[in-house]
Amino acid sequence: MKYRHAFHAGNFADVTKHVALVAALLRLTEKDRPLFLLDTHAGRGRYDIEGPGGEAASGVGRLASAGAPTSHAALARYLGILRELNPGGTLATYPGSPLIAAALMRPGDRAAFCELQPGEAAALRREFRSDARVGVHARDGYEALGALLPPPEKRGLALIDPPYEETDADFARVADALTGAAARWPQGVLMAWYPIKQGAVAARLHRRLLGSGVTRLLVAELCVHPDDSRAGLNGSGLAIVNPPWRLDQDLRAIFPPLHAALAERHAGRTRIELLGGE
């Protein structure tokens, strides 16, 4: 595997994904009914970002130093999780999506975190060894979507976040995974993260999902470079099937200040759009 979680941890794409995840979970936990959370490519849970190298300085580091507004509950909660993980005030540790999800879980909720790489899975098991709500699975996340859905809890969220080492093939596989999961779990919120290197590739993902029968699709994108830039990673997005009520409004309030903090010279863009359905 070429993708290195630790090197990319806390970059602008991580921040975008995790703030949106917090916003979705805050909406889902408004109702007093248990949730099931599935993370298909969970990583190790936490990452050391204090040393040299890595991309956190231009992501979460820039957000922290910018003094981003915390008027929206989701952004405030995300920054609160960072402070809880770094009590000394120095931004040395960054949480992966499992730690962020666990911070928002309630006693009756349940999670399955999947990680195929043995070392990462072992670290994840150590992270949650005392948390009875969490099961760590050393298994393929795509296979887990078929095996673990639908859950007994009925309500919940699945996060699909593969490394996209072969972009075209990975986009096609994500589209198939979302379509299959939506058919098996129509009550579930399905979030798939994707990189934006060329806007047309992401657009094909959206068209494929809508053409496959998905009726409620929320697209949330944040780019820190123009779409045609040669920077490599110009932005990232989330394709959210069956988004929670008013999540689109949340992200419309959150993404502009987030973009202002993360993008140099106001480059790039944001996009929050509901496709299909009402």
Q: Which tens digits make up the pLDDT trace of 37-85?
A: 999 999 999 999 987 667 899 899 999 887 656 679 999 999 999 999 9
- Tokens 């962020």 locate to 100
State residue 245's pLDDT score: 96
- Name the amino acid, one letter, at 262: L
Calculate mean pLDDT across residues 90-111. 96
Residue 34: strand, helix, or coil: coil
**Is 173 within 8 Å of 205 (Cβ atoms)?**
no
Confidence of residue 2 (pLDDT cuts 50, 70, 90): very low
Taking 3-state DSSP, the helix, strand and coil percentages for the chain, each rounded to the nearest 5, stand at: 45, 20, 40
Q: How far apart are CA 198 and CA 239, in angstroms?
A: 16
115-120: long-range contacts at Cβ-Cβ below 8 A with a sequence spacing of 24 or more? 115/41, 115/42, 115/43, 115/44, 115/141, 116/41, 116/140, 116/141, 117/1, 119/44, 120/5, 120/42, 120/43, 120/44
Residue 91 predicted with pLDDT over 70: yes
What domains lie within the chain, and their CATH numbers? 5-275 (3.40.50.150)
Residue predicted with more confidence, 88 or 121? 121
- Number of Cα atoms under 13 Å in the Cβ half of residue 210: 14
State residue 35's pLDDT score: 98
Q: Which positions are annotated as active-site residues?
A: 161
**DSSP structural state of residue 117:** S
Q: Residue 267 to residues 222, 224, 225, 229, 270: CA-CA distances in angstroms?
A: 10, 6, 5, 10, 10
Do β-strands 36-39 and 110-114 pair in parallel, antiparallel, or remain unpaired?
Answer: parallel
Q: How far apart are CA 52 and CA 20, in angstroms?
A: 28
| H helix runs in the chain, sequence order | 5-8, 12-28, 60-66, 73-85, 97-104, 118-127, 141-148, 167-184, 199-211, 247-262
Q: Which tens digits make up the pLDDT trace of 224-277?
A: 999 888 778 999 999 999 999 999 999 999 999 999 999 988 899 999 999 986
